[in-house]
Amino acid sequence: MSESLRYIQAVNAALAWALDSRSDTVYFGEDVALPGGPFGATKGLHKRFGSDRIFDTPISETGFLGMALGAAMTGLRPIAEIMYADFSFVAMDQIVNQIATIRYSSAGRWKAPLVIRMQQGYSPGACAQHSHSVEAYFAHTPGLRVALPSTPDDAYQMLRTAVTSDDPVVVAEARMLYPTRGPVRADAPVEPIGGARVVRDGRDATVVAWSRMVPAALAAADQLAAEGFETEVIDLRWLNPLDFDTVGASVSRTGRLVVAHEANLTGGFGAEIAARATSECFADLKAPVARVAAPDVPMPAAPALQKAVVPEAEHVAEAVRATVRR
């Protein structure tokens, strides 16, 4: 049984599920309690669960992520919200040096079952300090799980999976997806962590995308179908654990690969996918792997300049055409 929810409503439903079904879960961050969250993710939750379970913190990401680690090490499953993914950079020591390494550095005596929830990417008028796509920073760090849901249903299912994980999980949502609506399986069992998904079958090329670029890739596939190109689209969903088997199996069928993400090109996670495809699928490739990404510039605030740098469906379609015609 499913119900139609907007993406941000699905996030709210997953948080309500966590607080309702797990007495060890607490939620905190900036403006998440009485205000209901900067984008409404926690609307109504403070009234329902009270100040012991959901509360506001001072503006100190380093401080409250350290608190999350301590709480996780001593028996709770905290969910900490970073208002903008860009603000996680001030707490990188807590995330990379402390949270990610605690299981390794304690020889397994301690673990950090916590979730760091954030939203990222561009939106009209948002400036360079509020538009980063940060997934590659965290996917680079051993010890962190990284989730990027692209649909309301995955926003619900993957956040629940993150809450039940015994490893720390970074859940990065695209705020441009918040208004999107789709069916959500509220009564589905909690899914195991990981797993990419083929969301459109095709024979001529494979497009691997995640987060906001998944609907862009699907829109590109619709354009290309009208031109006679059948494009397979894979929603990667989790960067860690990475399901490259699904990518490799698709490339073995199509022989061509385009990787699409909103983050800047250089050092983006698309480079990792391209490198693995070159290493593991070289004999199947009929053309070099192509990447679609934002150019290596800070995100401008002016809408006209944003249009010049934000990757969209037409950029994915152009990359597929060029790859197929080589």
Tokens read off for 237: 């969903």
Strand partners, 292: 260
Q: Please check whether residue 151 lies inside any domain of the structure.
A: yes
Asked, for residue 51, whether it belongs to a domain, the answer is: yes
From 161, 185, 209, give the residue that closes a domain.
185
Does residue 300 share a domain with residue 209? Answer: yes
Whether residue 26 is found in the same domain as residue 112: yes
- Cβ–Cβ under 8 Å, residues 173 and 134: no
Using the 3D structure, point to which of 185, 205, 230 is the last residue of a domain: 185
Task: Evaluate whether residue 192 is within a structural domain.
Answer: no
Residues 67 and 101 in one domain: yes
Same-domain status, 48 and 177:
yes
Do 58 and 70 touch, CB atoms closer than 8 A? no
Residues above pLDDT 90, as percent of the chain: 99
Cα–Cα distance between 115 and 26 in angstroms, integer?
A: 10
Q: Are residues 37 and 175 in the same domain?
A: yes
User: How many folded domains does the chain comprise?
Assistant: 2
Assign residue 219 the CATH number of its domain: 3.40.50.920
Which pLDDT does position 31 carry in this prediction? 97
User: What CATH code is carried by the domain that includes residue 108?
Assistant: 3.40.50.970
pLDDT of residue 93: 98
Q: By residue range, what is the domain housing residue 215?
A: 197-325
One domain for residues 110 and 217 = no
204: in domain: yes
Q: Using the 3D structure, point to which of 135, 156, 185 is the last residue of a domain.
A: 185
Q: Which residues are catalytic?
A: 130
Q: Do residue 43 and residue 156 come from a single domain?
A: yes
Confidence of residue 210 (pLDDT cuts 50, 70, 90): very high
Q: Tell me the pLDDT tens digit for each residue of 4-25.
A: 999 999 999 999 999 999 999 9
pLDDT digits (tens, 9 = 90+) for 37-92: 999 999 999 999 999 999 999 999 999 999 999 999 999 999 999 999 999 999 99
Residues with Cβ within 8 Å of 275's Cβ and at least 6 positions away in sequence, in order, are none
In-domain check, residue 112: yes
Q: Percent helix, strand and coil across the chain, each rounded to 5?
A: 40, 20, 40
- Which residues does 222 contact at the CB level (< 8 Å), separation at least 6? none
For residue 94, count other CB atoms closer than 10 A to its CB. 22
- The answer to the question of residue 117 being in a domain is yes
Confidence grade of residue 326 (pLDDT, cut at 50, 70, 90): confident
Task: Identify the residue whose tokens are 């995308």.
Answer: 209
Residues 150 and 85 in one domain: yes
Q: Are 260 and 316 in contact (CB under 8 A)?
A: yes
The predicted-structure confidence for 141-152, as pLDDT tens digits, reads as follows 999 999 999 999
Same domain, 152 and 229: no
Q: Taking all residues of the chain, what is their mean pLDDT, rounded to a whole number?
A: 97
The 3-class SS string of 66-117 reads: HHHHHHHHCCCEEEEEECCHHHHHHHHHHHHHHHCCHHHHCCCCCCCCCEEE
Q: Is residue 297 in a domain? A: yes
Asked whether residue 191 is domain-assigned, the answer is no
The b/e string for 270-283 (b: 16+ C-beta within 10 A; e otherwise) is bbbbbeebeeebee
Tell me: do 170 and 285 sit in the same domain: no
Q: How confident is the model at residue 1, as a pLDDT?
A: 79
Residues 150, 56 within the same domain: yes
Residues 264-303 pLDDT 10s: 999 999 999 999 999 999 999 999 999 999 999 999 999 9
For residues 201 and 292, membership in a common domain is answered with yes
What is the spatial distance between Cα 299 and Cα 132, in angstroms, rounded to a whole number?
8
